[in-house]
Amino acid sequence: MYGVKLLSMGKAVPARNMTNDDLSKIVDTSDEWIKSRTGIEERHISEGETTTDLAIAAAQEAIKNGGVDPRQIGMIIVATITGDYIMPSTACRVQAAIGAVNATAFDVAAACSGFVYGTKLATDAIRVGSCEYALVIGAEVLSKTVDWEDRSTCVLFGDGAGAAIFKKHHKNNIINIYTQSNGELSECLTLPSIPLNNCCVQSERISPYMFMDGRAVYKFATTVVPTSIQKVLEGTEYNIDDIKYFVLHQANSRIMDSVAKKLEVDSEKFVKNLQHYGNTSSASVPMALYDLQEQLASGDPVILCGFGGGVTWGSVLLIW
Ligand code: ACO
């Protein structure tokens, strides 16, 4: 088995920034309500940038920062629930754009846990010798999936992408990864796909929008995230006090504060950039890690944690 390290990262967001005050001109809401319930102050919203565009831009920056020749990349995984096409995958379109001619490319649908799930697949592939470099991207244009007349969801989300390149390494820096799912709770977060309309059946029109039972999601997240963090530490030489930063999916500031309290960890160790980007689903963990980079020193233990639709959750314990 080979060791793996996170080599480099990239990030991309659409140019248009929208504040809470901007949203209050579209729906009946206020900066005070959004900030106090979620911690979000502003987000980037696509004015035409596609999920693929954002994924490519984040990938190109990670490639540049890592000094990687795209032909060295053996695997490309794009975690997304907002791909521009069901077929081809976003990953295949990224592959073509960056010239990663030797890669196996595919998408992963695990919602806000997508980057953690993708990291698991990519690092497992490197460990067993299937490839030397793997590119994992979380990319979303969630603004196309929300009902812009529904104030309870449209204020929460933003668009963006984060990318990471993992590399075979003599020393292993990806210490442990824990993932789990529970399909029995799937109804609390849904985004419908193409309804059945064929020669046999004409389906009724279904809402094309994302549905969220906010309270059920809150309960789910604040229950599984502390366990997920404890599970990823199990059997390692690290304990919770060794962890320099916790990079959770940026859904909601209150979820992070609740997790910090349950784990009895200083909430300052929980990284927050959702005030600037909102909830960007699979992109949020790599975007938050990207923003944390300047505060990290080589050797710092960090835990990444995703949780979201499916429902899905998982954590990565890595050494920076
Ligand atoms: N502006 C003003 N008022 C609003 C808004 C808004 N944007 N949205 C809802 N309200 C109103 C509601 O209409 C309701 O009014 P009423 O009491 O007159 O009926 C009131 O605020 C309370 O609404 P609730 O939905 O009960 O608000 P709650 O306190 O539960 O907060 C929230 C909603 C923030 C979504 C909360 O449930 C939560 O934090 N859930 C976690 C879910 C989450 O973070 N989801 C992110 C996506 S999923 C994921 O990433 C895994």
The pLDDT value recorded for residue 227 is 98
Dist. CA 81 → ligand 1 center (Å):
22
Q: Does the annotation mark 199 as catalytic?
A: no
Q: Is 81 near ligand 1, meaning CB less than 6 Å away?
A: no
Q: Does the annotation mark 17 as catalytic?
A: no
| Pair 138, 80: CB distance under 8 Å | yes
Q: Is 43 near ligand 1, meaning CB less than 6 Å away?
A: no
> What residue spans of 81-237 are helical by DSSP H?
90-98, 114-127, 151-154, 214-233
Amino acid at 145: T
Cα–Cα nearest to 288, from 310, 308, 303: 303
The pLDDT value recorded for residue 202 is 87
Q: For residue 284, give the ligand 1 atom closest to its CA.
A: 50
Q: Which two tokens stand for residue 122?
A: 């990519």
Q: Which residues of the chain have pLDDT under 70?
A: none
According to DSSP, residue 137 is labeled: E
252, 255, 259, best to mutate for ligand 1 pocket (most atoms within 8 Å of CB): 252
Cα gap 39→75, rounded to integer Å? 36
Q: Please, what's the largest Cα pairwise distance for the chain?
A: 61
The pLDDT value recorded for residue 65 is 98
The pLDDT value recorded for residue 40 is 98
ipTM of the complex in this document: 0.92
CB atoms within 10 A of CB 185: 18
The pLDDT value recorded for residue 189 is 97
Active-site pick, 92, 112, 131, 154: 112
| Pair 214, 152: CB distance under 8 Å | yes
